Structure 1
Amino acid sequence: MARVSIGGRNDLTDKQWRVLEPLLPARSGRGKPPTWSRRQLLDGIRWRTRIGAP
């Protein structure tokens, strides 16, 4: 599967991520390994909210 570059969308800075990461619940370690990192998922949610995508 090809990876898509997701940089340049006003993603979280490293400083912002250091503040938010400890607030997220711990992973259970069960199930399939994640395809996307938590940071990528959060950046995607913020992007969709910012542009008003359905």
Structure 2
Amino acid sequence: MGRGDLTSAEWVRLQPHLPSPGQRGGRWNDHRTVINGILFRVRTGIPWRDLPERFGSWKTVYERHRRWSADGTWDRILTAVQADADLAG
């Protein structure tokens, strides 16, 4: 795990709200690895193509971010995580 990657506690809170993997016929790359790649790119501001290989293919990371932005997945995740936090106080 790299600096700035999701911690185990953060992942436990986030994981139930993610879409099921493999809906497009193939096996999806691990959500956690892809999300860590997205967070790395947002944090550093590097071009997608310069994403370190530990996050997998830059195209996969970019496409998942683009798809989830377009279909409202990120908004649903944010709403769900905020609701969970409100319930926990």
Fold shared per TM-score above 0.5: yes
What 5-or-longer segments of structure 1 have no aligned partner?
A: 1-6
Aligned 1:1-54 pairs, distance under 5 A: 7-34=1-28, 36-54=29-47
> Which one has a bigger Cα radius of gyration?
2
Pick 1 or 2: higher relative contact order, CA cutoff 8 A, min separation 6. Answer: 1
Distance in 1, matches of 2:8 and 2:26, equals 27
Displacement of 1:28: 5.0
Distance in 2, matches of 1:16 and 1:47, equals 15
RMSD over aligned Cα, in angstroms? 1.7
Q: Paired residues, what number?
A: 47
What 5-or-longer segments of structure 2 have no aligned partner?
A: 48-89
Displacement of 1:44: 0.3
Give aligned-pair identity as a percent.
40
If the length of structure 1 is used for normalisation, what is the TM-score?
0.70
- Give the secondary-structure state (helix, strand or coil) at the position aligned to 1:16: helix
Larger fraction in helix: 2
Q: Which runs of 4 or more aligned residues in structure 1 lie more than 4 Å from their structure 2 counterparts after TM superposition?
A: none
If the length of structure 2 is used for normalisation, what is the TM-score?
0.46
Note closer, same or farther for the CA distance 1:8–1:28 as it changes in structure 2 (3 Å cut).
Answer: closer
